[in-house]
């Protein structure tokens, strides 16, 4: 900013000068913010282009159609659960021989896995390559003694939220109940202390603030499914809405 002239004899001119300097500074700040936003978009676009050029092991593009890569999760809201490990309980039940309930310590005693996964939100953003730690849903199914007639898994969460996933996809190797991402616990807005993870379906199927895993014979569409979202939610088929 230019040195302020001496305006002792002309106070009105001083007001005009100060206003002009303020506007110039504000304009410069706007340019910086705009430049920063442009650079962020360019970085995101570069990540998106690279992901579209990559292939998964099943031959599909790493990035589903209509998606854009972000460097971190976007907060998608929802009614938060308690978020603490002391009160956490996970009920595993339904069409099983031996239903059980786990506290947080009990969850950590089960066989653990840590693996990278990409997630895709129905709103159009994807976050790639995050490292998740937790327990596979297939491990819970085995411990509970799932009956042979089971065809679906219902993820239950705080405040009665549910979402439905076909049994084969819910028990695939990448599907788990997870409590850490990139070596850190989930923040409350992303589902602490434990959330579901079904990375090959749109991210609303990965229920936050998880309270239960129910194995069922007949399908039970959940909160978003009965409100017009697709019952299956395959990102590569863009199954966003029913």
Per residue of the chain (242 residues), give pLDDT as tens.
455 555 555 555 555 545 666 556 555 554 444 554 454 465 568 889 999 999 999 999 999 999 999 988 989 989 999 999 999 999 999 999 999 999 999 999 999 999 999 999 999 999 999 999 999 999 999 999 999 999 999 999 999 999 999 999 999 999 999 999 999 999 999 999 999 999 999 999 999 999 999 999 999 999 999 999 999 999 999 999 98
Return d(Cα 176, Cα 94) in angstroms, integer: 18
Fold of 68-237: Sulfite Oxidase; Chain A, domain 2 (3.90.420)
| End-to-end C-alpha distance for the chain, whole angstroms | 58
Q: What is the pLDDT of residue 178?
A: 98
- Cα–Cα distances (Å) from 154 to 120, 143, 184, in that order, read 20, 17, 26
H-type alpha helices, the chain? 11-53, 104-109, 137-144, 167-170
Return d(Cα 193, Cα 208) in angstroms, integer: 9
pTM value is 0.82
Return d(Cα 7, Cα 219) in angstroms, integer: 79
Q: What is the pLDDT of residue 45?
A: 86
Burial class (CB in 10 A: 0-12, 13-18, 19+), 28: exposed
- Give how far the C-alpha of residue 140 lies from the chain's centroid of Cα atoms, to the nearest Å: 22
Return d(Cα 57, Cα 36) in angstroms, integer: 36
- Cα–Cα distances (Å) from 233 to 84, 131, 133, 155, in that order, read 30, 22, 23, 15
Query: What would you report as the CA-atom Rg of the chain, rounded to the nearest whole angstrom?
Result: 25
The H helix count followed by the E strand count for the chain is 4, 11
* Positions of CATH 3.90.420.10 in the chain: 68-237
- The Cβ of residue 199 has, within 10 Å, a number of other Cβ atoms equal to 22
User: Is the CB of residue 44 less than 8 Å from the CB of residue 70?
Assistant: yes
Return d(Cα 217, Cα 156) in angstroms, integer: 16
């Amino acid at each position: 900013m230019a040195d302020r002239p001496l305006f002792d004899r002309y106070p009105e001119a001083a007001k005009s000068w100060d206003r002009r300097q303020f506007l110039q500074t504000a304009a410069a700040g706007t340019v910086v913010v705009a430049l920063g936003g442009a650079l962020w978009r360019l970085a995101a676009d570069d990540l998106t282009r690279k992901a579209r050029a990559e292939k998964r092991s099943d031959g599909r593009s790493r990035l589903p159609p209509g998606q854009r890569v972000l460097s971190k999760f976007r907060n998608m809201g929802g009614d938060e659960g308690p978020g603490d490990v002391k009160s956490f309980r996970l009920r595993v039940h339904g069409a099983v021989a031996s239903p059980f309930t786990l506290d947080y310590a009990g969850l950590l005693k089960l066989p653990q896995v840590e693996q990278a996964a990409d997630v895709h939100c129905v709103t159009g953003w994807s976050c790639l390559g995050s490292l998740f730690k937790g327990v596979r849903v297939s491990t819970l199914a085995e411990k509970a003694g799932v009956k042979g007639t089971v065809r679906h898994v219902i993820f239950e969460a705080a405040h009665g939220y549910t979402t439905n996933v076909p049994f084969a996809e819910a028990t695939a190797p990448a599907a788990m109940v997870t409590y850490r991402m990139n070596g850190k616990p989930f923040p409350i807005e992303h589902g602490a202390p434990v959330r579901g993870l079904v990375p090959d379906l749109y991210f609303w199927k990965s229920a936050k603030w998880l309270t239960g895993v129910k194995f069922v014979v007949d399908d039970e569409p959940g909160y978003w499914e009965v409100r017009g979202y697709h019952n299956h939610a395959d990102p590569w088929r863009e199954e966003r809405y029913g």
